[in-house]
Amino acid sequence: MARQLPRFAVLQLSGCAGCEVSLLNSTEWLYNFELVYMPLVISASNVPSVDVLLVSGGVQTSEDLYKLLRAVNSAKEIVAVGTCAISGGITNLGNRDDVRQMFLSEAERFHLPRMLPKCHPIDDYVEVNRYLSGCPPTPELFMQLLVPDPEYVPKRNVCQECGRKKLKDMKPDHFFYSQRGSPDPDICLINQGYPCVGTSTRAGCNALCTKPGHPCVGCRGPSDAFIDKNAQGWFDSIGKVFEKMTDVPTEEIQAILRSPQLSLFLFQFADYDHVNKKPRPKDKIV
């Protein structure tokens, strides 16, 4: 008699489908789960009853909210997947008055879903059992979520996975905003003048960016040491790392921390210490 596999579904809200593509690039779930709903590859009207519901994307429109509230009633476990579902994501960069006014003024003309005042993480509306962070989470992280390895021991931060050496006698006096040439593969990117925030970012990605020479921008969200900090707390902590390892002026350090290069993801650090809700439990975050 064939073994009945647990069923899971993927609900995509306002996002880019990067998380779905990453899931499809993994394979072990094929033998351990039955995928019954994912509009990217499987057509269905509604989310059927499932054991696990993966939710990607943020709640940006009234349609997103409707889909989310309807889908959670069919699932035993809810997982927020990726930066957008956890913190509102890059879509949050559109939370500007001029963008909202333009969109809302045209909503009736084009019969579009009503855009909410801002893009929300899904746990503003529903209880979440686990969080899978990343933009997108790697296929390996999806496997750890769906088919966990009991021997898996996560590193504390991206720096531990990167393995580059931090040097006390190599201090740049300026940050580069983009890669210059071929960074030394053995030396910390901060020592080489790149604003890398791997010291503060959750591990699990296997340092896919930093190993080939691209600074970490924090897409996995805060490490456990940062989850309980408020926005100013993590700004101060990251700033101290840069001040200790470089001779870059304080003004430039503060500017780079608030620059477009890092702001795509660093804002989500503060979301873990929201004014109206407690920081997300560390044991729920994959």
Distance between CA atoms of residues 110 and 127, nearest Å: 33
pLDDT at 25: 86
In eight-state DSSP terms, residue 144 is H
What are the Cα distances from residue 136, in Å, to 2, 140, 208, 265?
Answer: 33, 11, 12, 12
Output b/e per residue, 161-194; b: 16+ Cβ within 10 A: bbebeeeeebeeeebeeeeeeebeeeebbbbbbb
What is the tens place of the pLDDT at every residue in 83-123?
889 888 766 665 556 655 665 665 555 566 677 777 788 99
Q: For every one of its 286 residues, what pLDDT tens digit does the chain have, with 9 covering 90 and above?
A: 556 889 999 999 988 888 998 998 887 788 888 999 998 887 777 899 999 999 999 998 899 999 999 999 999 999 999 988 988 876 666 555 665 566 566 555 556 667 777 778 899 899 999 999 998 999 999 999 988 888 888 889 999 999 999 999 999 999 987 767 789 999 999 999 999 999 999 999 999 999 999 999 988 988 988 888 777 788 888 999 999 999 999 999 988 888 877 776 766 666 655 556 777 888 899 8
Segments of the chain assigned to CATH 3.40.50.700: 7-150
* Residues 7-18 as b or e (16 or more Cβ within 10 Å = b): bbbbbbbbbbbb
pLDDT at position 3: 67
Strand pairing category for 50-56 and 7-12:
parallel
Q: What is the pLDDT of residue 227?
A: 83
- Structure confidence at residue 27 (pLDDT): 78
Residue 160, pLDDT score? 94
pLDDT at 70: 93
Pick the CATH number of 7-150 from 3.30.70.100, 3.30.465.10, 3.40.50.700, 2.60.120.10: 3.40.50.700
Give residue-wise pLDDT tens across range 149-167: 888 888 899 999 999 999 9
pLDDT of residue 229: 79
